[in-house]
Amino acid sequence: MEPLPANLRFDVALSRGRRYPEPEHPYRNPFQRDRDRIVHARAFRRLEDKTQVFPPDLSDHFRNRLTHTLEVAQIARTVANVLGLDQDLTEALALAHDIGHPPFAHAGEEELDRQMQRFGERFDHNLHALRIVESFEQRYARFPGLNLTFEVREGIVKHSRDFQPGEQPDLDEYLPGLRPPLEAQLIDLADEIAYNTADLDDACSAGFFRLEEAAAEIPGFRELADLVAREYPEVSERLRFHEILRRLIDRLVTGLIEGTRQAVLEAGVKTVEQVRHHPERLVRMTPETARLSADLKSFLRRRVYDSEPVRVERRRSMALIAALFAYYLEDPDRLPEPYARQARLMPPHRVICDYIAGMTDGFLRRTCRRLGL
């Protein structure tokens, strides 16, 4: 396949650099170093014990947020490679894309946001990720945080949405009103491909639906199921499912590559600056692939995310977070140091939110059990 025009690749030599200047490394460029810094961060390791969708006590094979992140990185790198974009920047962004996620998946994010809204504030996992890499990770003597390059920080706050000037004053340095480079734009769709297909896999093995039901309700899935049934009429349902899933990922990734190439050609965009000033994002799936992806999403919503067992688990998770939040808010001195000290200098709800958001599922459960909540 043809790569995109060479000037659409974000050239690491043009990086706006780091907040605290550092000497160059003899053989790793700044985006490669950022990727490595993310992998070595504590917040990255904690992803191992954060739920993606299904709590781990149901099965040993489900994705958690760490294995999900690796799948996103793998897909994103492939797309960047084929399109001729910068793989190191792409990989750094993919590895960082979920490090701001609180415990208990979306239920955790929703509950923390609900708690913060009582104080006129919000919880957003992308902004939380920025705070992690800017200040919470303490690994360097000379500066707080990981001192990542501008483009990685920009990608962390912009990979899933754009914002306008004045919309978020604390993000004014990240070029409001402009699109991020293509490397950052593709993370969101690589994420979508990874979670749709992985959730389908995990949910099928957990017995949420049968292969025939997915084939009956998702036209694109049925097409592949027929193909596989003709090719391998004798194999088990489980193997057929994997043969379908593999083709599904391939079709979605190919659609993302093709859709982006078409959008870039139609827009006539030839440089990163033009990508930034283009009125809309240029990374997209072809219309047929976007439909397949939307069909997968709505099937998963009906059969999995909105199903009774997942809803029960979500309610339980939200109640635990609410109870813990209330426990610390009642007396912020109950927080461990250094959070208790911080809570005397800053609004306590902010410190409590940061503390809980950083917890793994396991740590949160153990803490609640210890406190009798």
98/361 with CB nearer Mg ion:
98
Q: Rule CB under 5 A: is residue 199 a binding residue for Mg ion?
A: no
Scanning 2-10, 13-21, 91-99, 273-281 for contacts with Mg ion by CB under 5 A, the matching segment is 91-99
Q: Rule CB under 5 A: is residue 91 a binding residue for Mg ion?
A: no
Q: Rule CB under 5 A: is residue 192 a binding residue for Mg ion?
A: no
State in angstroms the smallest separation of the CB of 68 from Mg ion: 6
| DSSP class per residue in 87-145 | HHHHHHHHHHTTTT--SSHHHHHHHHHHHHHTTT----HHHHHHHIIIII----SSSSS
d(CA 172, CA 165): 7
**Binding residues among 207-226 for Mg ion as defined by CB under 5 A:** none
Q: How many residues bind Mg ion (CB under 5 A)?
A: 2
State in angstroms the smallest separation of the CB of 190 from Mg ion: 9
State in angstroms the smallest separation of the CB of 72 from Mg ion: 6
d(CA 164, CA 178): 8
98/154 with CB nearer Mg ion:
98
Specify the DSSP class assigned to residue 26: S
In whole angstroms, how far apart are CA 101 and each of 74, 107, 148?
20, 11, 19
101/284 with CB nearer Mg ion:
101
Token pair of 178 as six digits: 């402009």
State in angstroms the smallest separation of the CB of 191 from Mg ion: 4
At residue 320, what is the residue type?
Answer: L
CB neighbourhood size of 161 (10 A): 10
Q: Rule CB under 5 A: is residue 71 a binding residue for Mg ion?
A: no
Scanning 78-86, 96-104, 130-138, 240-248 for contacts with Mg ion by CB under 5 A, the matching segment is 96-104
d(CA 184, CA 353): 27
Q: Rule CB under 5 A: is residue 109 a binding residue for Mg ion?
A: no
- Binding Mg ion (rule: CB under 5 A), the pick from 34, 124, 154, 191 is 191
State in angstroms the smallest separation of the CB of 101 from Mg ion: 8
Scanning 30-38, 186-194, 279-287, 300-308 for contacts with Mg ion by CB under 5 A, the matching segment is 186-194
Token pair of 323 as six digits: 């109870």
State in angstroms the smallest separation of the CB of 188 from Mg ion: 9
70/340 with CB nearer Mg ion:
70
- Show Cβ contacts of residue 356 under 8 Å, excluding neighbours closer than 6 positions: 102, 103, 112, 321, 324, 325, 364
Q: Rule CB under 5 A: is residue 313 a binding residue for Mg ion?
A: no
37/50 with CB nearer Mg ion:
50
Instruction: Judge whether 107 and 314 are in contact, CB under 8 Å.
Output: yes
18/125 with CB nearer Mg ion:
125
Nearest-5° angle of CA 54, CA 299, CA 77? 65
- Binding Mg ion (rule: CB under 5 A), the pick from 34, 88, 98, 202 is 98
In whole angstroms, how far apart are CA 344 and each of 226, 334, 349?
63, 12, 11
**Binding residues among 228-257 for Mg ion as defined by CB under 5 A:** none
Name the residue with tokens 């490669």: 32
Token pair of 186 as six digits: 């593709």
Nearest-5° angle of CA 254, CA 69, CA 319? 125
Q: Rule CB under 5 A: is residue 361 a binding residue for Mg ion?
A: no
Q: Rule CB under 5 A: is residue 183 a binding residue for Mg ion?
A: no
Q: Rule CB under 5 A: is residue 88 a binding residue for Mg ion?
A: no
Residues that bind Mg ion (CB under 5 A): 98, 191
